[in-house]
Amino acid sequence: MQAFSQRRLINTAISTKRIFINVFLLVFLSFFIVYPIMADELNIGDKAPAFDLKDQNSQNHSLASYPGKWVVIYFYPKDNTPGCTKEACNFRDDIELLTRQDSQVLGISVDSVNSHKKFSDKYRLPFPILSDANGNTAAKYGSLIKLGPIKIASRHTFIVAPDGNIVKIYRSVDVGKHSREIIDDLKRLQGDLD
């Protein structure tokens, strides 16, 4: 009888240990699951979600800061990474053409103001890059990805017309030609194609 009780006690301890290990593994693995943090997906014609974010010089920017302008909002994953650097430098190189289209370029990532300052200075970026450190703005635009405890912005771009409505959405971006693609689309959207 005592042997039966001891065996039962050992089996209970083993079962409890297995449950604990399974729960621990489930929690541990959930930190490495990649999933997007999305609001309702935005569509062309939707009002662009409002934001108020600091740029690389600690100046605040919002959509209301650009009345009458076409605003190009591009989300990107990380300062100083190859694809993000190429994309930012192409916007830099094409800034005059973009400005001629009466547009304002705003880059947004979850990097800090300090990180943006270093990135902007290093590559002489002539447009604001905004710090969305908590990821709230990226989430509103359906452009936030969570990698366990780490958050990054997806590479998405939105063109917002002067009336505040989204007129173009890019969810698949080729960084090598994206700024030129936007220039062409701005011309088309503004009826300026020659």
Catalytic residue positions?
84
- Distance (Å) of CA 58 to CA 45, 61, 69, 141, 175: 31, 9, 22, 22, 26
Q: Residue 181: helix, strand or coil by DSSP?
A: helix
Nearest partner of 160 among 49, 52, 75, judged by Cα? 49
Q: Return the residue matching tokens 């030609």.
A: 177
Beta bridge partners of 145: 36, 152
Cβ distance 72 to 98 under 8 Å? yes
Between CA 89 and CA 83 the distance in angstroms is 10
Produce one character per residue of 101-117: b if its CB has 16 or more CB atoms within 10 Å, e if not: bebbbbbbbbbebebbb
Nearest partner of 144 among 105, 108, 107, 187, judged by Cα? 108
